């Protein structure tokens, strides 16, 4: 069962400049940052609030580390902006199978490692009204 908006992913050309904008404009601070070599991104997670299920909601700022990464290709085509929305779940495997059974294409056969040690998979945007959708089980939930 999906329990919250875990994060909204925002693709950007310059992570440091974008982080500074969100800090100066809204007062959001970096909660966590990392480089995900597999996905070819450098990212910063800005915590927005705690949620009733013990999780949190974030803005995830994504800068590609290589042009051929999914985010790099997306930026080249679309420019900066909202890249995806992620829903939190206690069991990404179970929810991905359930949603896949309803005719929505799940992009990974097995969930992969995401931010902060989470387990993630994506749903095809053509099956989600044009929105790339991520399912996330945070590290504290698995």
From the list 7, 39, 63, 83, the catalytic residue is 7
From the list 39, 63, 83, 84, the catalytic residue is 84
Closest CA to 38 of 93, 113, 96: 113
From the list 39, 63, 83, 134, the catalytic residue is 134
Is 141 in the active site?
no
Query: Distance (Å, rounded) from C-alpha 81 to C-alpha 97?
Result: 29
Instruction: Say if CB 41 and CB 111 are below 8 A apart.
Output: no
Instruction: Say if CB 116 and CB 43 are below 8 A apart.
Output: no
From the list 39, 43, 63, 83, the catalytic residue is 43
Query: Distance (Å, rounded) from C-alpha 104 to C-alpha 133?
Result: 11
Query: Distance (Å, rounded) from C-alpha 118 to C-alpha 111?
Result: 9
From the list 39, 60, 63, 83, the catalytic residue is 60
Is 7 in the active site?
yes
For residue 15 the two structure tokens come to: 């992570």
Beta strands 2-11 and 56-64: pairing type?
parallel
Three-state DSSP class for 115?
A: helix
Is 84 in the active site?
yes
* Residues identified as active-site: 7, 43, 60, 84, 134
């Amino acid at each position: 069962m999906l329990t919250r908006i875990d994060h909204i992913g925002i693709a950007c050309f310059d992570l440091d400049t974008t982080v500074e904008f969100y800090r100066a404009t809204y007062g959001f601070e970096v909660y966590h940052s990392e480089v995900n070599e597999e996905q070819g991104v450098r990212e910063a997670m800005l915590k927005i609030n705690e949620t009733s299920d013990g999780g949190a909601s974030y803005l995830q700022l994504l800068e590609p580390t290589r042009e051929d990464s999914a985010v790099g290709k997306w930026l080249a085509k679309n420019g900066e902006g909202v890249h995806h929305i992620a829903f939190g779940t206690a069991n990404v495997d179970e929810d991905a199978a359930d949603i896949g059974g309803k005719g929505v294409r799940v992009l990974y056969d097995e969930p992969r490692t995401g931010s902060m040690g989470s387990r993630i998979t994506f749903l095809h945007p053509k099956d989600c009204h044009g929105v790339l959708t991520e399912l996330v089980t945070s590290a504290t939930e698995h």
